[in-house]
Amino acid sequence: MAKKKKSAPVGPSALPFERPIEDVRSRLHELESLAQKTTHDLSEELAFYRQRLERLTQEIYADLSPWNRVQVARHPNRPLTSDYIQHLCQDWVELHGDGVFGDDQAMVTGFATIRGHKLLLVGHRKGRDTKDRLACNFGSAHPEGYRKALRKMRLAEHLGLPIVCLVNTPGAYPGVAAEERGQARAIAENIYEMFGLKVPIVVLVIGEGGSGGALGIGVGDRVGMMENAWYSVISPEGCASILWRSAEGKEAAADALHLTAPDLLKLGIIDKVVAEPVGGAHNQAEAAMEEVGQQIANWLDELAKIPLQELLRQRQEKFRRMAMAEESLQALFPPQTRAAESGTDPAEVDSVLEVDPARKLGLPKKPETH
């Protein structure tokens, strides 16, 4: 047993649904070390296990439940903002502090160059080891974190640098000091001001997109999400504790909230799902970060071509139109699938979900922006 553990280094952080993958992986490792010691030709067996590992990973990851994706989004080996800075950013200069109160470690800001694009990077910071995590409040920023972000974003506007926001937070910090210093106002002001920033803004949810804490750096011209990230109004646990009255309902809540990247793309809330390597970003961190880097560069190229006034108008209109028209949603989430997802008798739910035409939302064909 001890030997098995040694040969499978990712074992301890494997997620419950990844166990079958880990079993095959550890057997493969055993075989590999055996192949080095023996003169027998094991190449056939090795090929078999390699193929099996790949296929199994593909199969399991092709069929992740929303809750599984939440688990992947929180995986301890998943690349964090600090990894992106290290891997993607040249000429990185961290800029500290909100200029008034403090320097929130849960929010990192600085100048960076990504694939030749000079920009301002803003991101939630979670921390990798225990000490770091505590210093970053596990990625939950205080008001000074949001104010630091806004202060630096205004600087970027002044310098004409585009802004890239990496979202990865379970939510803004709920504490006495945060309330005293106006957590709600800090977030609201960021959302409000981001509509007016006269430079392109790209937002990527790289892990957790927890509610207002995420949206506080989440208003952009392009909003993307990694394949296994989640983004919603509340965490599945928070939702479960309120509506199901127990954290046990977290899996059902994750289903009900439609918090996955593919679902939010259908809802018109994000622009793109950034694909992760098979087995999740934690499985091949560098490849995952490269994909994100490419997406950032593509979007910055695209946005640079849009005249400023048009850019701001489109940003306003993008959020003005959320959510999208009822008819398209009816097609995307037909009553049958809804019922099947929630595990309730379809016939019973069908009648409830039949929407009276008079109750459909009458969104204007053209947004009433001036």
Q: Compute the least distance from the CB of residue 84 to other proteins, in Å.
A: 23
Report the nearest approach of other proteins to the CB of residue 272 (Å): 15
The residue from 181, 278, 306, 346 that contacts other proteins (CB under 8 A) is: 181
Using CB under 8 A as the binding rule, whether residue 36 contacts other proteins is answered as: no
**Contact with other proteins (CB under 8 A) among 2, 37, 358, 366:** 358
Of 184, 287, 304, 308, the one binding other proteins by CB under 8 A:
184
Q: How far apart are CA 270 and CA 222, in angstroms?
A: 8
Q: Which residue has the tokens 């290290």?
A: 86
- Residue 323 Cβ, how far from other proteins at the closest point, in Å? 4
The reply to whether omega before 35 is within 30° of 0 (cis) is: no
Amino acid of residue 320: R
At its nearest, how many Å lie between other proteins and the CB of residue 178? 7
The 206-245 site mask, x for binding other proteins (CB under 8 A), equals -----xx--xx-xx-----------xxxx----x--xxx-
271 binds other proteins (CB under 8 A): no
Residue 152 CA to residue 338 CA, distance in Å, equals: 43
Residue 174 within binding range of other proteins, rule CB under 8 A: yes
Residue among 42 and 191 whose Cβ is closer to other proteins = 191
Instruction: Determine the residue type at 313.
Output: R
> Would you count residue 191 as binding other proteins (CB under 8 A)?
yes
The answer to whether residue 189 forms part of the interface with other proteins (CB under 8 A) is yes
Interface with other proteins includes 5 (CB under 8 A)?
no
User: Pick from 34, 134, 287, 323: which binds other proteins (CB under 8 A)?
Assistant: 323
Q: CA of 45: how far to CAs of 6, 11, 361, in Å? A: 21, 22, 60
Rounded to 5 degrees, φ, ψ at 92 are: -70, 130
Q: Which amino acid is at 111?
A: F
Q: Which of 123, 127, 145, 249 binds other proteins (CB under 8 A)?
A: 249
CA distances from 105 to 136, 147, 164, 343 (A): 5, 13, 18, 42
Q: What is the DSSP string of 142-201?
A: -HHHHHHHHHHHHHHHHHT--EEEEEEES-S--SHHHHHTTHHHHHHHHHHHHTT-SS-E
The minimum distance between CB 219 and other proteins, in angstroms, equals 6
